[in-house]
Structure 1
Amino acid sequence: MKVTLIKIKGWIGSVLYSYGNDETEISNRERNIMIELYLDTADVEQTKRFNQCLPLKGITTNPSILAKSNQGLKKTLQGMQQALGGTPRFHAQVVSSTAQEMLEEARQINELPYDMVVKVPATEVGLTAIKLMKKEGIQVLATAIYSAQQGFLAALCGADYLAPYVNRIDAMNGNGVEVVADLQLLLDQNQLPAKILAASFKNTQQAMEVMKLGIEAITLPVDVAAAMFAHPAVAPAVEQFDKDWKEAFGDKLSFES
């Protein structure tokens, strides 16, 4: 499949999907808000750092991230709430193995005093659990998505967010960006309200490619978030500005010159 971006206006885009000689322009759903930007981390200090310079919507976590941080969900969320302030959105994953157990766990997560979204793997059992959760109005993110059809089924079950694993798909000789494009097309064609929350990134190019598709949410690991505004040419350019200014005006500030 060839995907060609033909128009971007803010975060509202049109994408031209080409299958052989059959080309159809698909306009993404009108969006009233900018893309939701999350950090994929349990590191409170890094969250404080990036919250100062980025418009973070909140934090995504998973069992592996929490295990590596050596602290539980409640402690992590307390720290994140202090770091972010306001009413951030937190995505936390169930660790139960049956649909009924996932539902019970989701109920408890939903009772936490934050804006919570419950993450559920998009497996057969997970899809069953998602349907049960949505009957109770629980916000759900279908995670561990490796194919467009998998994400599409989760959306049909009522998932509010869909998390395709871009880099993990690439690492399996797939095309993560293409999976996201196909999934966005299915959502648009069927007028499903689920938001793609793209996840699993190794580099900024992957993140940029999926954002150009008009997705509504993305979560970045700390190193990729830092790389988004880090370019080897930036520091030398700023240093040259400082050098030229001081040679001409010394220590005066701009409004004093």
Structure 2
Amino acid sequence: MKFFIDTANLNDIKEAYDLGVLDGVTTNPSLMAKEGIKGEENIRKHYKAICDIVDNNVSAEVISTDFDSMIKEGESLAQIDDKIVVKIPMIKDGVKAIKYLTQKGIRTNCTLIFSAGQALLAAKAGASYVSPFIGRLDDIGTDGLDLIEQIVGIYQNYGFETEVLAASIRHTQHLLQCAQIGADVATCPLKVITGLLNHPLTDKGLAQFLSDYKKSQEATEQALAG
């Protein structure tokens, strides 16, 4: 499974990259605004700064919702860096834009997926990634993990190369369950990834090892002193 971090915060991206497990970044206008990044030129510079940190896969989202504008914006975003994946919404013109950009050799991430049918259309159009939002489905009483499982099964049935990018992941259990049912990618906040590090028995075991080592050193020093 690939790990993407869902943020525009450069410090979090650097920390995830230094951890050695980061495969990419997803971001959007809301996350940019959260970091105080405003204005087209500043946003483009920020995308480039992200690309300079990671090895690949930086999803940059279009703002437009009509075909011609999405194409223009998508091609412009793709020129920032070869690592850019153009993020396109799941709407009719979005599917058309995915087809067009794919034919131009530009990778795409179809976002705001909430049904298997939408994911099927995106894959047919040639999307590199589809982003089902499992947390938002959970919020309305629908099991988002069921959707991941459906999409994975459909793609396996027909050999689609589109990768399933599980988005709107809220906690480590979400992430692990997505891995169990075969999602290709999980994108989430840094705290969800670092949460995988934690287990009380690890902490207890390490404390015991260090305590035993200290006792051993003290015993050795006493023996030498005697």
Q: TM-score, normalising length from structure 2? A: 0.89
Instruction: Return the alpha-carbon distance in structure 2 between the equivalents of residues 246 and 67 of structure 1.
Output: 50
Q: Kindly tell me: are residues 115 and 251 of structure 1, through their superposed partners in 2, closer, same or farther at Cα, counting changes over 3 Å?
A: farther
Indicate the residue corresponding to 1:116 in structure 2: 84
| C-alpha contact 1:96 1:105 (8 A) present in aligned 2 | yes
Give 2:111's aligned residue. Answer: 143
Quote the Cα distance in structure 2 between the aligned partners of 1:121 and 1:155: 13
Structure with greater strand share of residues? 1
What do you get for the CA RMSD once the two structures are aligned?
1.8
1:48-96 C-alpha deviation (Å, 9 max, x unpaired): 2121223211211111111111124323233324433xx3221111001
2:6 corresponds in structure 1 to 40
CA drift of 1:250 comes to 4.3
Q: Which aligned pairs between 1:4-153 and structure 2 lie closer than 5 A?
A: 35-71=1-37, 72-84=42-54, 87-153=55-121
Alpha-carbon distance between aligned partners in 1 of 2:214 and 2:98, rounded to the nearest angstrom: 61
CA distance in 2, matches of 1:170, 1:94: 26
Q: Contact 1:90 / 1:114 at 8 angstroms: preserved in 2?
A: no
Distance 1:229 1:208 in 2: 13
3-state SS of the aligned residue for 1:170? helix
| 1:242 maps to which of 200, 210, 224 | 210
Partner amino acid, structure 2, of 1:242: L
Bigger shift: residues 149-158 or 243-252:
243-252
**Structure 1 residues 158, 81: closer, same or farther in 2, change over 3 A?**
closer
User: d(CA) in 2 for partners of 1:237 and 1:77?
Assistant: 42
SS of 1:193's equivalent?
coil
Larger radius of gyration, structure 1 or 2? 2
- Kindly indicate whether the alpha-carbon contact (under 8 Å) linking 1:60 and 1:90 is maintained by their aligned counterparts in 2: yes
> What is the rounded CA distance, in whole Å, between the counterparts of 2:219 and 2:118 in structure 1?
60
Residue pair 2:122, 2:130 contacting (<8 A) in 1 also: yes
- Deviation (angstroms), 1:147: 1.1
Question: For the Cα contact (< 8 Å) 1:162–1:196, is it kept in 2?
Answer: yes
Contact preservation (8 Å) 2:138, 2:144? yes
Q: 1:251 to 1:80 in 2, by over 3 A?
A: farther
Q: Is residue 129 of structure 2 the alignment partner of residue 161 of structure 1? A: yes
**What's the % identity of the aligned pairs?**
28
How many residues align structurally?
216
Gaps of at least 5 residues in structure 1 are 1-34, 253-257
Contact 2:51-2:81 at 8 Å conserved across structures = no
User: Residues 82 and 131 of structure 1: is their aligned pair in 2 closer, same or farther, counting only changes over 3 Å?
Assistant: closer
Indicate if the aligned counterparts of 2:149 and 2:182 stay in contact, CA closer than 8 A: no
Unaligned stretches of 5+ in structure 2? Answer: 221-226
Contact 2:114 2:132 in 1 (8 A): yes
Relative to structure 2, which stretch is displaced further, 228-237 or 121-130?
Answer: 228-237
Q: 2:144 aligns with which of 156, 168, 176?
A: 176
How has the CA–CA distance of structure 1 residues 137 and 88 changed in structure 2, closer, same or farther, with 3 Å as cutoff?
A: closer
Cα shift at 1:104: 0.4
TM-score by length of 1: 0.79
Partners of 1:251 and 1:188 in 2: how far apart? 61
